[in-house]
Amino acid sequence: MVFGKKENLVGLDIGSRSIKAAQIVDSKRGHTLKHFGIVDIAHGAIEEGTINDPESVAQSIQQLFKSYNIKENNVAVSIGGYSVIVKKIGVQTMAEEQLQETIHFEAEQYIPFDISDVNLDFQILGENESNPNQMNVFLVAAKKEMVNDYINLVNLAGLNPCIVDVEAFALQNTFETNYDVQEDNIALIDIGASKTSLNILKGNSSVFMRDVSLGCGQINQKIMSLIECTFEEAEQLKYGEKPDRLTPEDLKGIVSSVVADWCTEIRRALDFFYSTYPEDQINRIILSGGGANISEFRQLLATEASAEVESINPFQNFQLDGKNFDDAYIKQIGPQAAISMGLAMRKVDDK
Ligand SMILES: Nc1ncnc2c1ncn2[C@@H]1O[C@H](COP(=O)(O)OP(=O)(O)OP(=O)(O)O)[C@@H](O)[C@H]1O
Ligand SMILES: [Mg+2]
């Protein structure tokens, strides 16, 4: 579409614990958040990005759209986890069209899956710093099966999947829309229920991305191994709702050990960055996902990483319709809304 205004769509973040939908409209007052909704899905219906029970997830999506009165059918979804690989690689300098033809060959050595099983995309970043005959390329590879599963799921919910993005890119989009991009190094870390994604930015370009299988569900698992209960009950127990079943001391012990695990893994990723850029310092870490709500985690990470740690506000540069959103609610759901907000900023005819 060359003429006409670009159409907005609903950002739909399909997590393993909860699905979030955000719709933004552009008005004279700027970008305005029209709808935001969140709904939990059945435990086990999605695990680490793999959709085990599409019918039940599709129903949850329909319920979400209905209860928040979202009418738009065009959606942008995202995928993440170990089936998606994002890597900065060096290739012989060539024209984009030429790389389009040879990208499979170039990518093969970096992809741990059969190359015929993945969808590939790339972006040329520019000349390689140490070798002028080479250029840096951002390579994105996602398992075709996974991409198709998400498209089929959205269709099953009666919606139109216009864009399949990468979670970490959607989050970066949210960050860039809401924060002044500085020359500083910043780590964006999303801790969901079953996965954690890390993205280190130098200025506004990503230099390191990694997804690991850690998340808030670990807390539930530990509760379940301590006392006999279902996953759903563990979800209540972790908010300290039944101190007779799980004492505050036991809960604290569990949370401490899980967040210590996360910090070790994050430290490992940061150390990898420091080994490549020994002169640089990551001063600021911006958290999103449900894990960002855990204050003990924020404090420990600040100490362990010697950085300022804060939770993302994905609504900072948006107008909010005061009738629909009160301040306390917006603050509470902000971290979990981050990816859906980044997706909602995409346009129907974006690539
Ligand atoms: N205040 C809190 N304390 C502890 N855990 C919390 C808190 N708030 C949210 N969570 C946890 O965060 C998780 C949900 O976060 P989120 O919505 O980011 O996950 P998701 O996107 O569904 O999962 P994933 O991206 O890993 O597939 C749940 O496990 C929930 O228990
Ligand atoms: Mg998530």
C-alpha triplet 151, 157, 158: angle, nearest 5°: 95
d(C-alpha 156, C-alpha 325), whole Å: 30
| Residue 143 falls inside a structural domain | no
Cα 195 to ligand 2 centre (Å): 7
CA dihedral 11, 118, 349, 320 (to 10 degrees): 20
| Residue 263 falls inside a structural domain | yes
Cα 45 to ligand 2 centre (Å): 14
Task: Please give the pLDDT value at position 349.
Answer: 66
Instruction: Provide the sign of the torsion angle of the four alpha carbons 45, 49, 174, 183, taken in this order.
Output: positive
| Residue 164 falls inside a structural domain | no
Q: Are 336 and 20 in contact (CB under 8 A)?
A: yes
| Residue 185 falls inside a structural domain | yes
d(C-alpha 187, C-alpha 169), whole Å: 13
Task: Please give the pLDDT value at position 321.
Answer: 77
| Residue 199 falls inside a structural domain | yes
**CATH number for position 256:** 3.30.420.40
pLDDT per residue as tens digits for the range 156-204: 999 999 999 999 999 999 999 999 877 789 999 999 999 999 999 988 7
| Terminal alpha carbon distance of the chain | 12
Task: Please give the pLDDT value at position 129.
Answer: 83
The CA-based diameter of the chain, rounded to the nearest angstrom, is 67
Tokens standing for 46? Answer: 């999605």
Q: Is 18 close to ligand 1, i.e. is its CB under 6 Å away?
A: yes
> What percentage of the chain reaches a pLDDT higher than 90?
78
Confidence of residue 3 (pLDDT cuts 50, 70, 90): very low
The number of folded domains in the chain is 1
Buried b / exposed e along 203-240 (16+ C-beta atoms within 10 A): eeebebbbbbebbbbbbbebbeeeeebeeebbbebbee
Highest mean pLDDT among 121-135, 208-222, 285-299: 285-299
Ligand 1 atom having least distance to the Cα of 190: 18
| Residue 51 falls inside a structural domain | no
Q: Residue 278, SS3? A: coil
| Residue 147 falls inside a structural domain | no
Ligand 1 atom having least distance to the Cα of 217: 29
Containing structural domain, residue 202: 180-311
Task: Please give the pLDDT value at position 2.
Answer: 41
Task: Please give the pLDDT value at position 257.
Answer: 98
| Residue 3 falls inside a structural domain | no
> Model-level pTM?
0.94
